[in-house]
Structure formats: C-alpha cells, structure tokens
C-alpha cells in the first residue's frame, strides 16, 4: 500500500477529506458503486481508461478507509463484490456537487482539452 511521505494535516478538514479521495479513480469508483454492488470485472469495464492494477489498489485503499466494503462469497470459483458503505455514501453529495460543477463549466474543459 502507498505510504505517505508527508503526513496528513489533522487540523485541516479539507485536507482530511481529500486524503480519502485524493486519487484519479477513487471518486469514480464511489460514483459507480452508488447504485448497486459490483464485481471487480464490472468496475474494470466501467472504467476502461484505468489499469486493473490501479483500480485494484484504489479499491483496497477504499476498503481500508471504510468507504467501500468487499464481500467474498464462499463459492467455487470464489466471487467477490464491492459495495459502498454508509461512510462512503456520506461523500456522495460532495461528488454530486463536483458533477454539477463540471457540467456547468463544460465549456472550460472543451477549451482546455480541445473537444
């Protein structure tokens, strides 16, 4: 697991929140899981731009932080699913605000990225 070189500033609530979702795919993973539990392969298909290794690492961090829960079913072959926890759901209003802001300012991104 990734070990921070600089400790998180515990006196700043913004930095604390960002420390949980401060990666390229964690917020996308939480957004994908908002509707229903998903298997790892479904998450990989939903986010094809991300490498499976990166998604697996970030899912593990989300599980370790308590934002996502991993359920392993005792079957042959073994099957696992990820689902968002209540703590993870508490971040959804923040993600929703980010989605609305991105939609509202789409022209900025079209100028910046040339789409």
Asked whether the predicted pLDDT for residue 115 surpasses 70, the reply is no
Set out the domains of the chain in order of their start, with CATH numbers.
Answer: 13-113 (1.10.10.10)
pLDDT cut 90: percent of the chain above it: 65
Residue 4, pLDDT score = 64
pLDDT at 96 over 80: yes
Assigned token pair, 35 = 């509707």
Are residues 82 and 38 in contact, defined by beta-carbon separation less than 8 angstroms?
yes
pLDDT of residue 113: 87
Partners of residue 71 on adjacent β-strands? 81
Say what the pLDDT of residue 11 is.
86
pLDDT digits (tens, 9 = 90+) for 7-49: 777 888 888 888 888 888 999 999 999 999 999 999 999 999 9
């Amino acid at each position: 697991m990734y070990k921070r070189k600089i400790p998180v500033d515990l006196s700043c609530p913004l930095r604390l929140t960002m420390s949980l979702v401060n990666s390229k795919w964690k917020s996308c993973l939480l957004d994908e899981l908002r509707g229903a539990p998903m298997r790892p392969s479904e998450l990989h298909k939903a986010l094809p731009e991300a490498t499976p290794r990166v998604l697996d690492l970030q899912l593990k961090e989300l599980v370790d932080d308590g934002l996502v829960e991993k359920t392993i079913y005792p079957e042959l072959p073994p099957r696992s699913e990820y689902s968002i926890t209540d703590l993870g759901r508490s971040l959804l209003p923040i993600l929703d605000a980010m989605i609305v802001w991105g939609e509202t300012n789409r022209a900025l991104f079209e100028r910046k990225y040339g789409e």
